[in-house]
């Protein structure tokens, strides 16, 4: 919650469990008893603060522009259906210095409760958009693949407009992307998509810092 407030997220309702103190600007502040608070919370061990906020979603074009202004590719999530993975990738993207994430084609909502929780609130530091591949059809880039791509040690990841991560079941849906692969030990087929994203995003950060 503190991360969201620090990023300037507008709170429509701030709900506090009795005995909990938390100050933040909100249109409405309510205090709930333990039972009422537990009934509306979606976690087993809630921290005592809940909010309904206005998500500042941007267009695909604006997300792409934000990424390009920072000399970063737009991080595209293509059919990543697990909100935990979506949130983890957003958290890593913000930590690495990426500016924007686009969720396309059946990707879980980056602003869903589970995704926001998995991002530790850092999703609010990103320009986040939701759309379809048709809105990015004019742009190329690298797509992360378990095998068959150029090694990420050699691929110039920051030189393309897009860096795409596919769902763990269907993989990448566009067949015109340049593939990038993370070399692994023999016998290991693939990495979790969030782990792969962390490696590639921090490889970009390392090179931009040189």
Give the chain's domains with CATH numbers.
Answer: 2-54 (3.30.1330.30), 60-209 (3.40.1280.10)
- Does pLDDT of 141 surpass 90? yes
pTM over 0.85? The answer is: yes
Per-residue pLDDT tens digits for 36-53? 887 777 665 567 887 777
Report the C-alpha dihedral over residues 67, 72, 74, 78, rounded to 10 degrees.
-160
CA distance 110 to 87: 6
For residues 140-167, average pLDDT:
96
131 has a pLDDT exceeding 80: yes
Nearest to 86 by CA among 199, 192, 177: 192
Q: For residue 153, what pLDDT band results from cuts at 50, 70 and 90?
A: very high
Please tell me whether residue 16 adopts helix, strand or coil conformation.
strand
Q: In this predicted structure, what is the pLDDT of residue 128?
A: 97
Helix axes 83-96, 193-209, angle to 10 degrees: 10
The C-alpha R_g of the chain, in whole angstroms, comes to 19
Q: Report the C-alpha gap between 189 and 29 in whole angstroms.
A: 50
Residues 6 or more apart whose CB falls under 8 angstroms from that of 121 comprise 1, 2, 3, 4, 7
Spatial neighbors of 109 by CB under 8 A, at least 6 apart, are 83, 86, 103, 115, 130
pLDDT, position 151: 97
């Amino acid at each position: 919650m503190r991360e969201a407030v620090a990023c300037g997220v507008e709170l429509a309702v701030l709900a506090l469990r009795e005995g909990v103190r938390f100050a933040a600007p909100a249109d409405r502040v309510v205090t709930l008893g333990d039972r009422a608070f537990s009934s509306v919370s979606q976690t087993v061990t809630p921290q005592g603060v809940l909010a309904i906020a206005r998500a500042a979603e941007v267009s695909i074009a604006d997300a792409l522009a934000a990424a390009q202004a920072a000399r970063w590719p737009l991080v595209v999530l293509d059919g990543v259906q697990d909100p935990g993975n979506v949130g983890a990738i957003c958290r890593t993207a913000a930590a690495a210095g990426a500016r924007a994430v686009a969720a396309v084609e059946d990707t879980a909502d980056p602003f869903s409760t589970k995704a926001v929780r998995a991002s530790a609130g850092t999703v609010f530091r990103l320009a986040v958009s939701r759309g379809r591949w048709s809105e990015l059809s004019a742009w190329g880039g690298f797509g992360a693949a378990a095998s068959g791509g150029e090694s990420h040690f050699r691929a110039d990841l920051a030189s393309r407009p897009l860096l795409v991560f596919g769902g763990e079941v269907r993989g990448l849906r566009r067949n015109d992307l340049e593939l990038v692969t993370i070399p692994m030990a023999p016998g290991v087929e693939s990495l979790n998509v969030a782990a792969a994203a962390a490696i590639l995003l921090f490889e970009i950060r390392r090179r931009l810092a040189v």
